[in-house]
Amino acid sequence: MRYFKNLIEQLINPAGITIGGTNAWDVQVHDERLYQRIINGGSLGLGESYMDGWWDCCALDQFFYRLLSIDTDKRLGKNLALLWGLLMARLFNQQTPKKATEVGLKHYDAGNTMFELMLDKYMMYSCGYWNDASTLDEAQEKKLDLICRKLQLEPGQRVLDIGCGWGGFARYAAEKYGVNVTGITISKEQAALARERCQNFPVEIRLQDYRDIDQKFDRIVSIGMFEHVGYKNYHRFMQVASRSLTDEGIFLLHCIGCRESGVRTDPWIHKYIFPNGLIPSVIQVSKAINNYFILEDWHNFGEYYDLTLMAWLKRFREAWPQIKQNYSEEFYRMWNYYLNLCAASFRARKNELWQLVLTKPQRQTMYMSVR
């Protein structure tokens, strides 16, 4: 055990992290088997051992930020589980219509009550826009209005929301801008609540895969859904969006991005949070849109995701006494781990948040960028 502990200490000491230390970001170990489990399992072993209660840390976000800032994942190297996952991702399409539903079942169907308590009043499960905003509600409303202005919405337009979640954008756009919205999702729980929340507005919510869309819209928006498409389907996604958009239409894509092109996500995130997902790179997105759209605007405000995730974490912890009878302690530790890890990834600039405004080559009207 001492040998494995020495290896771990060599990895984390450059980040200023000490095992058994007194700083908020230091690790407190409860089971000495932890060290070998991390060496054998990499990020999956680290996450699962936290869920099992083998270790704790007072400030997980700071712990992860320090590790990510020195590229600890690369220092640790690729274990066999990760190598197998990379091989599977290259050989097989992880986002076929059948596989695409897995994330809905595993993540988005975790319980509407939990998400209602954790998210803002519009239930937006994506990065807020914290420019001149001091609360989560303000940040999400500013994000929604920014998107509507970028889309140049006008009353009576037909808008498609790909990956509509709980209908937050659909309701906001219909109420504030007088448009007719069709929202699609692969989560039954989301669809049910979205219909309830949008019932008094010109909004249709469908339980539908994006590949099955077969009609034209004046505007298209996709907020936080492209991360579930998978690199083998990027071109198909853009093809569907292009054929579904009128020639004078506008398409806004809001998604997480990363600096490096990959074909598989982190093993722990894949297993417990977002099955079969993948964060795209600039190169992957650029290649996908090349044959279908003109890039009018590319806006990055990834640092706002750190603020958003920490706000969700605070609300999740505050809500836990109300919902814990429906979940296990392992679930609580899993979500605590997930939200802290993701916040740190944006703080360390490992991930970014992009809004792309896209139009078809046939469009005749000049587009003016909005901030």
Alpha-carbon distance of 154 to 172, in angstroms, equals 13
Q: End-to-end alpha-carbon separation of the chain, Å?
A: 55
Which residue is catalytic, options 57, 164, 255, 342? Answer: 342
CA distances from 349 to 83, 259, 301, 353 (A): 25, 9, 11, 10
C-alpha angle 86-87-92 in degrees, rounded to nearest 5: 105
Strand (E) positions, the chain?
A: 28-29, 55-56, 158-162, 180-185, 203-207, 217-223, 245-258, 294-300, 351-359
Alpha-carbon distance of 307 to 309, in angstroms, equals 6
Measured in degrees and rounded to the nearest 5, phi and psi for residue 308 equal -65, -45
User: HSE-up of 338 (CA within 13 Å, CB side)?
Assistant: 18
Torsion from C-alpha of 292, 183, 277, 249, nearest 10 degrees = 20
Determine how many CB atoms are found less than 10 A away from the CB of residue 107. 17
Strands 203-207 and 180-185: parallel
* 342 labelled catalytic: yes
Tokens 């997980």 belong to 60
Strands 217-223 and 158-162: parallel
Which amino acid is it at 367?
A: Y
Q: Cα 106 vs. chain centroid, distance in angstroms?
A: 14
Strands 55-56 and 28-29: antiparallel
Alpha-carbon distance of 287 to 272, in angstroms, equals 30
Judged on CB neighbours under 10 Å (0-12, 13-18, 19+), 70 is middle
Alpha-carbon distance of 315 to 335, in angstroms, equals 12
Over the Cα atoms of the chain, what is R_g? Answer: 21
Active site residues: 342
